[in-house]
Structures are given as C-alpha cells and as structure tokens.
Chain A
Amino acid sequence: MIISGSVVKYGDNIDTDVIVPGKYLGITDYEELGRHALEGIDPDFSSKIKQTSILVVGENFGCGSSREEAPVALKYAGVKCIIAKSFARIFYRNAINIGLPIVVCSEASEKLNDGDMVTINLAEGVIINTSRNEVYRTKALPGFILEILKDGGLVAYLRRRLT
C-alpha cells in the first residue's frame, strides 16, 4: 500500500478526549464526527487536513479512552495516514481495525514538518520526504495487519474469512 500527501503536524500525548470530546460520542454520522476531529487543540483541523491528508504527531498519540470514534473521526476528517513516534495501544488497534493506516517512525516524526510532501510505502516500511529528498525507514507492518488494512478494516477482513 502506497499513500501520498502533505503533512500537518502536532505534538506529544494527544489524548482521545481532545480527538473526540465525550459529548460527541454516540453520533453515528461519521462525516459529522469528522468535523469535530481534534477541535480541542485546533478548531481548523478538519479544514486543514482536507488539503494535506498526512497527520504527523509525537509520542503516545491517542492515549486515553478506548473510543473507536477517535480514529473514525480522523479518517472521516480526511486523514489518509498517521505517522507517530509512538501510539497508545488501544488507539493503534482501533486505527487498524477501522482501516486507517498508521506508521511508527521516530525519525519521520521528528524530521517531517508542516507542508512537507511525503510518500509512504506500508509494506516496505519506507517514508520518502519528497520536499527535502530524505528517506526514513521503519519496521514494515506484519502481513495480517496489512491484509486488514487492504480489506478496509477488521469487519471486512472477518466477513471475507468467516462467511
């Protein structure tokens, strides 16, 4: 899987209450959820990400609650891939399960800046910063996780296998 776009960048320890505040939980219109994504730290996020599509963050992204609305809101806001130094574990699973690609790469998280153009190869674990001609390498995702992402999420993956 290859994903391209430009970067919008935020810091460390961004929690799920900031990604989707509790008052929006229960909304089943995902486009509506997307409009509130990250509004806790940047009220303009949902309009910015539509132009950029690659979210770059620091460590422990998505800490806090198990709300799957967090990656769902980001996905429907227009995020195509998240690059982080590290993810909180529930968020990491949730993102894969709803078909939102995520990459753990400290070097890319540090070096990428707002507006940089990147191309990400998930199967090979390679991130190319075309704005600065830099290449960052990380571990490729395990095969079954790539399969889940290719199917668009865990539901579709299981439907294909169980039914």
Chain B
Amino acid sequence: MSAMNIVEKILCRVSGKSVVEPGEIIRAKVDRLMFHDLTGPLTVKAFKEIGVSKVWDPDRVVVIFDHLVPPNGERAALNQKIIREFVKEQKIKWFYDIGRGGICHQVMVEKGHAKPGELIIGADSHTCTYGAVGAFSTGMGATDVAAVLATGETWLRVPETVCVKIDGELGDMVTSKDVILYVIGCLGVSGAVYKAVVFKGSTVERMSVSGRMTMCNMAVEMGAKTGIVEPDHVTEQFFKSKNIPYGSGFVSDQNAAFDETYTFDVSKLGPQVACPNSVDNVKPVSEVEGIKVDQAYIGSCTNGRLEDLRLAARIAKGKRVKPDVRAIIVPASQEVYQEALREGLIEVFLQAGVLVCNPTCGACIGAHMGVISEGETCIASINRNFIGRMGSPKAKVYLASPATVMASALTGVITDPRGVAA
C-alpha cells in the first residue's frame, strides 16, 4: 500500500475506505459535533426543518455558550433560551452553559472532547484548533452541522495536504503566535485554500499543546480546511496529566507525500504584528513600533490560555497600564481563569489597571465587552483584523502575541516586548 499522510489516514478511517485521493468526495462518519450560542439558533432551526425527531447520537454532541456570554441583549438571551431547550429536549450529554465552560475551542480540548485521530465538525471556523491534539477538525456552517446532527455523517472533499516545517529555537518573548503570523505573512490569506496543513519540525515538537492550538487555530486564516500536528510525547503527556483516556491516533508514514513543503527557520525570528486590515499584512514589530494604541486586548480562542496569561503577567508585574490605554484580558475558559487566580496572575493584572472579563468571544467578534469606536486603534492577541471585526469599520486592529499586546498596553504604543520584560 502506498504511503499516507496523517490527514489521509484519518479520512480513510472515517470513510471506511482503504485509500483516499485528494479531490475525491467522501462520505464520512463524524466522531464529535460542536456548536455554540451564535451558530446554534440556525443549526436548531435547520435541524427542525429537516424533520427528523432525534439527534443521531446525543453523547457525541457538545454545545458551548461563549460568543455572547453573558447575553448582551434580549436577542442573545432568547437565542440561548432556544438552544437550552433543544439541549434538554434532545438529551445532549455535553452542555456548557454560562459559567461552566468558556470559549468553545478551549473547552473542547481542555475537557477532552477532542482526541487524536478523530473527525470533529464544529459550527465555527476556528474548529480547526483541535489539530493541536492530532484530530482532523474543521468548521462548517449551521445547515451542514444540522445535517450531521440528523445523520451523523457529512460529505468531505479530501484536501491536498501541505507540510509547514518549522525549525529553530524561539527566543525569549517570541511565541507560537509570532511563528504563525510569520507563516501566514509568507503564504498569504489564500495560501492554503481548501488544503490541510500539517505543522512539523523541531520548533513545533517543542511547543506545548497550548502553543500548537494557537498555530492550528490560525490555519483557517490562510484558507486551510484544517491545521494539524502529529501526536507525540507532548500530546501523550497532555492527556495523561488530565487523566483523559485517549487513542494514539495517526502519524504520517515516513515517505508520505505532501502537495508542497514549506520550510521556515525561526531561530532569529522576532515578535510579529499583522497590520490592518488583513491577517497576511505581517511586519516585524520593529517596523510598526511607536504606533499609538487606544486599547490592548488579550484573549480569544487564539491566545487566552494559561501560558499566554503567564507571559502577560511576567511583563505587567509591578507596572501600570498607560493612563490613556484600556487594557482588557479575557481568560479563555473558567478553568484558565481559576488557575490564573490561583497563580496570582489576576492580582497582577488588577494592580496594573487591567480590566479582567469573564471568558467569552466578546470583543473579538465586535459584539460586546471591548468594542472599539471609529478612529480607534486596538492591538489584540486575536486571530482576525478584518474591517469592522472589533467594532467600527473605521477602527484599526493590529494582531500580535500576548507579550507584544501587554508591552504595548504599558507604553501606550506598539512595543517590542523584549525591551519591556523584566
């Protein structure tokens, strides 16, 4: 049998085929399905219109409230009520209401709903995040997700797979976020449209699951169907430390073919910033240093995890946010929040003058808790800087690592964190 890569192996398993070819359309059995409060109402509506009475398997469905948490108005409150009733009526096993979970992609990995070798579909474009634990996960729209709810199956075009090989040891204050911004800057926002991206190389091998999540999360920003890291000792350690049973999943055969291999040496890479209004408009922080910011935002499914908050706290400790800057930190989940509290990180932020909010997508989608006005500039650890993403279409959003965002909050201008860190 010819050599296969990790993506082809997973798609073979879920389609029951012994070989799959890029471009081929397969029917696949879905291992796990996720939707949230914003895509839920359309999903539930479409499910009811299809006309079947029961979801295919209530044990394989995960519903997480995160986008408008707590509801920012009556419309959101009503939508959440509709989903809550659906969850109860369909006896859906995994439901994270307000205060129980957090941002969906963080919760899916943190609570062990995503495992190596699985096919996971979610009604959110950043579902590709679970590639960090070796799952094939991809986002779909509400109607596609409703069809999975009804049948347990979906159609997939087998993607071409590209390999992004990253080598070199990262310098202090240079993170997985800087690496993925740099990669997207090189490959472009349509650099991997409809393809799967496998992240390999010594840099990736050294990254925590958390760092790998940041990389896989942003694979969609270059158009990819998914980003994935082959499970290894880091993955194994992650599940063992949480006492979550897991299967070993798949790794690519040694001589597996990739559509394309891109290699990067990041040993000399410095902090990176994606400038308005495109995620591939990436520059070294040195080229944009000094641009005044009105708001600094750390959070989201990209960078609201414990290691992100630890890094931010290292920079903020004993210092104050510049008086004309609003700094907002949103832990990615209740678990992250609680651990940050235990470690004293929240105390550091509060003393620095940071507003710490509850876990939510909030301002990352321009919905609430930090929406920005016209003419304002925000530096954020999120994944998109599209026109209007965080509020006014006349506002500007710069994307950076939590370290660069925190450093900029202290100085009031875009700042290289390496000059600020203690």
Contact = CB atoms under 8 A, between A and B. Distances in A.
Q: Do A and B come from one complex?
A: yes
Nearest to B363: A22
A122 to B, nearest CB: 17
A68 interface: yes
A94 B143 contact: yes
A158 interface: yes
B384 interface: yes
**Interface residue tally of chain B, by bracket?**
35 or more
A162 B52 contact: yes
A23 to B, nearest CB: 6
A146 interface: no
A63 B225 CA distance: 11
B143 A66 contact: no
Interface string A72-90: 0000000000000010111
Nearest to A97: B143
**Interface residue tally of chain A, by bracket?**
35 or more
A26 B39 contact: no
A67 to B, nearest CB: 7
A13 B139 contact: no
A65 B278 contact: no
B147 A60 contact: no
Contacts of B68: 26
A88 B51 contact: no
Contacts of B33: none
A93 B140 contact: yes
A128 interface: no
Given A26-B41, A60-B190, 18 more contacts: A18-B387, A21-B393, A23-B366, A25-B367, A40-B388, A40-B393, A65-B124, A68-B42, A68-B143, A86-B193, A88-B193, A89-B225, A144-B155, A154-B143, A154-B144, A155-B46, A155-B50, A158-B150
Closest 5 CB pairs of A and B: A94-B141, A68-B141, A60-B190, A97-B143, A22-B365
Interface of B: 25, 38-39, 41-42, 45-46, 49-52, 68, 75-76, 79, 123-125, 127, 139-144, 146-147, 150-151, 155, 189-190, 193-194, 223, 225, 278, 365-367, 384, 386-389, 393
25 contacts: A15-B384, A17-B384, A17-B389, A18-B386, A22-B366, A22-B389, A23-B367, A28-B45, A60-B189, A63-B190, A66-B39, A66-B124, A66-B127, A66-B141, A86-B190, A89-B223, A89-B225, A94-B140, A97-B147, A98-B143, A142-B25, A144-B155, A155-B46, A162-B50, A162-B51
